[in-house]
A and B are shown apart, each in its own frame.
Chain A
Amino acid sequence: MISLLGFVSLRHLARHRLRTALTLCGIVLGVAAITAIGMVNRTVLQSFQRTIDLVAGKAVLQVTNGESGVKESVFPVVRDAPGVAAAAASVEGFLPMTEFPGERLFLLGVDFLTDAFLRDHQFAGGALERERGLDFIAPADSIALTESLARRLGLALGARVALTTAEGVKRYTVRALLKEEGTARAFGGNIALMDLPVAQLALGKWGKLDTVDLTVEQGQDIEALRRRLADRLGGAAQVERPSKRGEQVESLIASFRVGLFFVSLVALFVGVFLIYNTVSVSVVQRRREIGILRCLGTARGQIMKLFLFEALALGLAGALGGLLAGVLLAKAALGAVTQTIGNLFFHIDASGTSLSWREVGLGLGGGIGVAVIAALQPAWEAARIGPAESARQEPWRKDARRFSRLALAALSLLAVAPLVWFFSPGHFTPVQKFSAGMTSMFLFLLGVCLLSPLITLLASGAILRALRAGFCVSARLACDGLARNPVRSGMTVSTLMISLAAIFTVAVLVHSVRVSLLSWVDQMVSADLVVHSSAPTAGSLNVPLKEEIGAAFKEIPGVKLVDFYRLIRSTYQGKPILIESFSARAARAVRSLPMVAGDGQETLRRMAAGEGVVVSESFESKFGKGRGDTLELPTPSGAVSFRILGVYVDYSSDAGSVLLDRALYSKLWGDRLVDAFDLWLEPGADRDAVIREIKEKYGERYQLFVNTHAELKQAVVGIMEQSFRVNYAVEVIAVIVAIFSVINTLIASVLDRTREIGVLRAIGATEGQLKAIFVLEAAGMGLLGGLLGLIAGTIMSYQHVVYNTKVLTGWTFQYSYPPGVAAACVLLTVALCLIVAYAPARRAAQLNIVKAIAYE
């Protein structure tokens, strides 16, 4: 078999270099997409876990309560608990470096005297022994930076650095430098240490702690101690192993990761059709060669193996190339994904990524598996060729049985597809339900793919009949090209259809999200101006400020009302959620709450009266708690039960949100920080004058972003669109693979019609007239693929927006169809096909006439 492979296959592959290269590129791209997404997903999680581990140091248990924090009074309770060997309190947060745009420091505030028990801080010039330690903490402006950061920013010992803090821009003096070991390796060295009280002020967490890390005495049962401590804290904080926080993060970005994974599958799915196409073209063109091999005594099994081995060799080579390309792609995509996760969830330090054995397995398995599966059917066809074929010259014939088989398989798949999601078991998790929904979409696509040869045949036949009246030789010959090998053309139409359907589905999702988001922002944020510090929107990037500045805003002429919005990360039943608050009482007159069900104004009134909270629809779908239920939240004051007054629409996070009145929030959480100041202006007030005054008086000190309502909407939509950027990039890969398939098919079509081309040239067809045939053939495939893609994409996008996204995130988006995008998708597909058709068309036009006429 190997010698047969060397004898026959390699020569064939070498002879059709362009086709071989395109197929290889297709596999390379598909494998690269799946490898890169795998690597990025893993790196994001690992880097978060690594950061947690580095910051946690030797701690075996951590007492935390999300961003709610814990009261300082908790610390002695934990430290003095029986079984605890050592405990260290800390606060943490990200602060922008005012004078270095784009630089953010992870600020860790620790008690220098006790922290060394848990964390390994290595200072340049030796340990901070008692005297040096006291020198560091005595002035209230000391900061320790890592050596690498200091070097990079040109900051020496004694230098002053400005940070945008909760109290505005503050200057600190670099009094120690950290070697890049232990904790200092987190966030690529963008980490700073401060004495605990100084950091508490900077982060606006006076009287609060974010974490109490602890080690346990030898021989202690860690789990028993964890439970004991949790009981003692009475719901005011959670006690967990550091690894548990990584799991929380995993669940937080699960939907994002699962979404990306399925997107990467599309590229590989398109690859199946490209390989199928290549191998079946190869079988058709080598019928005679196969016949001769059969005459010479090659068994059917050997022929089948020959083609499978060829596909395997292509798959292996493509997969190896794909792994390499995947690493490069992952490095390129990591930045975009990190930024998206930073915008949507939290900061991560994912500076480097490397290939794991799992991804190697996935890439190789994907590439080779796809190649062999795609080659099975054509290889089987090849094995059925008898010795007599060596004498025949005809190309592939239309086979009615084949079409009825294909149609039957297609209709079965189309019938099964909706059943898969309709009957997905009720106990499935959201990710499992989403996967069932995606599987159903893939089955549906596969069904349409199997129908496409028949559709191609019928469509080209109909066009041929229509064109007969007007002669139109080029167009008729182009249609004939499509109809002559409907399976080959149909499969190419399928690749175009899949990639277009996938891109269109994402486009409709983005469009629907945009429409829903804009209408939500209109209802949720009705303020004329929104003010944040250090970031254009509230989220993981802005620095929360103190309330006092809001009072100052109220004094500005033209300002009617100022409301305080706060957004913190917390947990519910051990899972991450968001807690939002604003003043329901103050803002009732100017706000309306977008409710899933119920009256927004009435709900605001009841919230203002302190009767309870509202939860987002993601929260309801994730935890099964809705209107009329009660929920218990961990607050720094202990566990508190709230009545759920209603369910509101909230797109801040698919983790689920709880919204409550600020007065209630401040009382229970002891938190008076503000993430966004919402300002309503007097009628006729000069908006620009108000913005000017805010910026002049407070802009620089607090690094303020003052957004008008329109600007805020733009910023929200910008973040949303950015989060789909990687999706688009991967779909573009699928389009490229599909385009390879178009080129492949056209090359095969030129080969099939070589003699015809020669005759046409001999009887007077110009090069231009010949080019037109192949360009039109490509346009036909583009148009069919585009239209089918649009039909499939419309159905898929409806299911994706209305069902898949809902089960994964709990969000309800209004399905919104973008007709402009639909038209553009089809036109772009046709245009792309026209462009890539040029090279094969030129090849046809420039064929040597004598050789072409003699071509068998």
Chain B
Amino acid sequence: MIRLLDVHKVYGQGSNEVTALAGVSLEIARGDFVSIIGPSGSGKSTLLHLIGGLDRPTRGDVLIDGRIISRLPDRDLTRFRRAKIGFVFQFFNLLPLLTARENVMLPLVLDGRGRAEAAARANALLERVGLGGRAEHTPDQLSGGEMQRVAIARALAFSPSILLADEPTGNLDSKSGEAVLDLIRRVNREERCTVVMVTHNERAARYAGRIVYLSDGTIVGAPSSR
């Protein structure tokens, strides 16, 4: 369960202050697929970063499974992120140096897992996202859609309970985008993995079970569900 309690996020100081989030409270139940939608600068990505423990709120708390993550020290937060959260980015952010398999292995290796164990898990995940035959390819040998599927496989390395996706289709053509969204929905349904996805795209947002509208740092309108 994800809970945001009156979360504020302010960047800058004094006259340069920019309020990204102005008192957001939100609950997302385990296994939900939530899309966050809103115009540029509405605070969507900030919200995602706070849930993922990449950033800390200026005021208010972020709780994951009852634990206040916004107050964890950096080392614990890193461990928490590794264990509970999977990230998918708009620009895929794969390491160009590593093959698809190695990119998926990376979080496991960073966690100190054995190479054989990490490789087996990476192979299974790549099969799962339909890229079993592309494991030895480096990112520059993959299409945009394939790169994003590798990124999703990487995000699933630790079987996280939460998958956070920031504009996962923002850099893809519509066909590849749909394939990625299908994959995310499958992960949500088959693994009971909570998914929070930020998007500009109303069509993409509709893949979620629930849509949250953000504007000027606050949640507007009734949450809709399908």
Interface residues of A (CB under 8 A from B): 464, 470-471, 473, 476-477, 480, 755-756, 759-767, 769, 848-850, 853
- Which residues of chain A are within 8 angstroms of B97 by Cβ–Cβ distance? 464, 476-477, 480
The 4 closest A-B pairs by CB, nearest first: A764-B82, A759-B93, A480-B97, A849-B54
Stretch of B33-41, B102-110, B173-181, B187-195 at the chain-chain interface: B102-110
If the complex has contacts A473-B109, A762-B87, A763-B107, are A853 and B93 also in contact, measured as CB distance less than 8 A? yes
Name the one of B78, B95, B98, B118 contacting A761, with C-beta atoms under 8 angstroms: B78
Q: Cα distance A850–B47 when bound, in Å?
A: 11
Q: Is the CB–CB distance between A764 and B93 below 8 Å?
A: no
Name the one of A480, A755, A769 contacting B110, with C-beta atoms under 8 angstroms: A769
Name the one of A755, A765, A850 contacting B55, with C-beta atoms under 8 angstroms: A850
Name the one of B105, B107, B115, B118 contacting A764, with C-beta atoms under 8 angstroms: B107
B130 to chain A, nearest CB (A): 21
Q: Cα distance A761–B111 when bound, in Å?
A: 12
Q: Cα distance A756–B158 when bound, in Å?
A: 20
Name the one of B78, B89, B105, B155 contacting A471, with C-beta atoms under 8 angstroms: B105
Of residues 71 through 96 on chain B, the ones whose CB sits less than 8 Å from some CB of chain A are 74-75, 78-79, 81-82, 87, 89, 91, 93, 95
Q: Cα distance A472–B93 when bound, in Å?
A: 19
Q: Cα distance A765–B54 when bound, in Å?
A: 12
B116 to chain A, nearest CB (A): 11
Q: Is the CB–CB distance between A763 and B78 below 8 Å?
A: no
Q: Cα distance A384–B161 when bound, in Å?
A: 50
B49 at the A interface (CB under 8 A): yes
Give 25 pairs: A residue, B residue, CB < 8 Å, sorted on A. Answer: A471-B118, A473-B109, A476-B97, A477-B95, A480-B97, A755-B91, A760-B106, A761-B54, A762-B81, A763-B81, A763-B82, A763-B87, A763-B107, A763-B110, A763-B155, A764-B79, A764-B107, A764-B110, A764-B111, A765-B78, A766-B75, A848-B55, A849-B49, A850-B46, A853-B89
Name the one of A759, A761, A769, A848 contacting B89, with C-beta atoms under 8 angstroms: A759
Q: In this complex, what residue of A is CB-closest to B80?
A: A764
- Which residues of chain A are within 8 angstroms of B98 by Cβ–Cβ distance? 473, 476
B97 to chain A, nearest CB (A): 4
- Which residues of chain B are within 8 angstroms of A767 by Cβ–Cβ distance? 74-75, 78
Q: Is the CB–CB distance between A766 and B110 below 8 Å?
A: yes
- Which residues of chain B are within 8 angstroms of A471 by Cβ–Cβ distance? 102, 105, 109, 115, 118
B168 at the A interface (CB under 8 A): no
B154 at the A interface (CB under 8 A): yes
Name the one of A763, A766, A849 contacting B154, with C-beta atoms under 8 angstroms: A763
If the complex has contacts A473-B106, A473-B109, A853-B89, are A764 and B81 also in contact, measured as CB distance less than 8 A? yes
Q: In this complex, what residue of B is CB-closest to A483?
A: B97
Interface residues on B, range: 20 to 34
Besides A760-B95, A763-B87, A850-B54, 18 other A-B contacts (C-beta < 8 A):
A470-B115, A477-B95, A480-B97, A756-B95, A759-B89, A760-B106, A763-B81, A764-B79, A764-B110, A764-B111, A764-B158, A766-B75, A769-B110, A849-B49, A849-B54, A850-B55, A853-B54, A853-B89
- Which residues of chain B are within 8 angstroms of A477 by Cβ–Cβ distance? 95, 97
Q: Is the CB–CB distance between B49 and A764 below 8 Å?
A: no
B52 at the A interface (CB under 8 A): yes
- Which residues of chain A are within 8 angstroms of B95 by Cβ–Cβ distance? 477, 756, 759-760
Q: In this complex, what residue of B is CB-closest to A854?
A: B45
Q: In this complex, what residue of A is CB-closest to B166?
A: A853
A696 to chain B, nearest CB (A): 73
Q: Cα distance A194–B46 when bound, in Å?
A: 91
Interface residues of B (CB under 8 A from A): 46, 49, 52, 54-55, 74-75, 78-79, 81-82, 87, 89, 91, 93, 95, 97-98, 102, 105-107, 109-111, 115, 118, 154-155, 158
Q: Cα distance A850–B81 when bound, in Å?
A: 14
Q: In this complex, what residue of A is CB-closest to B119?
A: A471
Q: Cα distance A762–B154 when bound, in Å?
A: 12
| Chain B CB within 10 Å, residue with most, of A755, A761, A763, A765 | A763
Q: Cα distance A471–B113 when bound, in Å?
A: 12
Q: Is the CB–CB distance between B110 and A850 below 8 Å?
A: no
- Which residues of chain B are within 8 angstroms of A763 by Cβ–Cβ distance? 81-82, 87, 106-107, 110, 154-155
Q: Cα distance A850–B56 when bound, in Å?
A: 10
A676 to chain B, nearest CB (A): 69
- Which residues of chain B are within 8 angstroms of A850 by Cβ–Cβ distance? 46, 49, 54-55
Q: Cα distance A433–B54 when bound, in Å?
A: 65
Q: Cα distance A756–B55 when bound, in Å?
A: 17
- Which residues of chain B are within 8 angstroms of A762 by Cβ–Cβ distance? 52, 54, 81, 87
Q: Cα distance A849–B52 when bound, in Å?
A: 11
Q: Is the CB–CB distance between B78 and A766 below 8 Å?
A: yes
Q: Cα distance A516–B78 when bound, in Å?
A: 61
Q: Cα distance A480–B139 when bound, in Å?
A: 15
Q: In this complex, what residue of B is CB-closest to A770?
A: B110
Q: Cα distance A280–B59 when bound, in Å?
A: 43
- Which residues of chain B are within 8 angstroms of A849 by Cβ–Cβ distance? 49, 54-55
Q: Cα distance A761–B97 when bound, in Å?
A: 17
A470 to chain B, nearest CB (A): 8
Q: Cα distance A763–B91 when bound, in Å?
A: 15
Q: In this complex, what residue of A is CB-closest to B86?
A: A763
B109 to chain A, nearest CB (A): 6
- Which residues of chain B are within 8 angstroms of A470 by Cβ–Cβ distance? 115
Q: Cα distance A769–B75 when bound, in Å?
A: 12
Q: In this complex, what residue of B is CB-closest to A849?
A: B54
Q: Is the CB–CB distance between B55 and A764 below 8 Å?
A: no
Q: Cα distance A760–B103 when bound, in Å?
A: 11
Q: In this complex, what residue of B is CB-closest to A767?
A: B74
A846 to chain B, nearest CB (A): 9
- Which residues of chain A are within 8 angstroms of B49 by Cβ–Cβ distance? 849-850
Q: Cα distance A690–B68 when bound, in Å?
A: 87
- Which residues of chain B are within 8 angstroms of A755 by Cβ–Cβ distance? 91, 93
- Which residues of chain B are within 8 angstroms of A765 by Cβ–Cβ distance? 78, 110
- Which residues of chain A are within 8 angstroms of B75 by Cβ–Cβ distance? 766-767
